[in-house]
Amino acid sequence: MDADRRHWEKRLQAIAVELISEPARIEAAYKVKAVRVEPVGVIYLWPISG
């Protein structure tokens, strides 16, 4: 029981630190790491009668 109490005391301290660090870590995971430029073709269709 004492070991459980010691563990929870350490865990509560870790949670206090995680509340500060985790949002930044999660946001960094969603940042774009590579930028790609892909060619796009455009076609205009003109009517023959027109």
Q: What is the mean pLDDT of each run of 10 residues along the chain (50 residues)?
A: 95 94 93 87 79
Radius of gyration from C-alpha coordinates of the chain: 28
In a domain, 44, yes or no: no
* Best CA proximity match to 21, nearest among 29, 32, 9, 10: 29
> How much is the pLDDT for 23?
93
Domain range for 14:
1-39
> How much is the pLDDT for 43?
83
In a domain, 32, yes or no: yes
In a domain, 18, yes or no: yes
> How much is the pLDDT for 47?
81
In a domain, 50, yes or no: no
State the Cα–Cα distance between residues 25 and 34, nearest whole angstrom: 18
In a domain, 9, yes or no: yes
